[in-house]
Amino acid sequence: MRKLSHEELLAQRLTAAEVLSTVRHPVVGILEDIRSLYNVGSCFRTADAMLLQRLILTGYTPTPPRKEISKTALGATETVPWEFVANGAEAVAMLRLQGYRTYALELTDSSLQLGTAQLPPGPIAFVAGNEITGVSAATLAACDGAIEIPMHGVKHSLNVAVAFGIAAWELVKKGG
């Protein structure tokens, strides 16, 4: 086994122009009231890696261009389509009208387990909420349901960018 060199990786990578013209997975990530610019940048980088349809930033989630976002996004703010919508509930309503099934990434009394949930086919949007308070009540009420990442240790939550990455991977894998 041999680790690939940086040059070999670059030779395999799509160009920014190729990525922008590539058919994307019908999965939209909504970031609601995320405080950390570094978490936002990390979500952009994950959205690029997973070829998500787009990101929607809502509430007081910081938006590009910001150096702290760029630091963790590593250029993904240029390759991931994104938009700003005033609040999460409005973003969810807009996507539902476009035919997306919408899920809050949240612990609720009726959350579906992300890995085993049987989701109906079609485009999916998921909401990742604030690092402390999670998805707002208004946005949660606007969603079709909630999905959760099973926790097996003492802690009942993950860093929002980590949770975003797990959810994005699983939803793309499920065919979204």
Give the position of tokens 């949240």.
Answer: 106
Look up the CATH number of the domain holding residue 125: 3.40.1280.10
Residue pLDDT, tens place only, 71-93: 999 999 999 999 999 999 999 99
Q: Is the pLDDT of residue 176 over 70?
A: no
Coil/strand/helix, residue 50? coil
In a domain, 66, yes or no: yes
User: What is the spatial distance between Cα 41 and Cα 62, in angstroms, rounded to a whole number?
Assistant: 10
What is the share, in percent, of the chain residues with pLDDT greater than 90?
90
Q: Which domain range does residue 93 map to?
A: 19-173
126 located within any domain: yes
Q: Tell whether 74 is covered by a domain.
A: yes
Sign of CA dihedral 160, 139, 123, 111: positive
pLDDT, residue 175, reads: 80
Q: Is residue 5 part of a domain?
A: no
Question: pLDDT tens for residues 108-151?
Answer: 999 999 999 999 889 999 999 999 999 999 999 999 999 999 99
How many domains does the chain divide into?
1
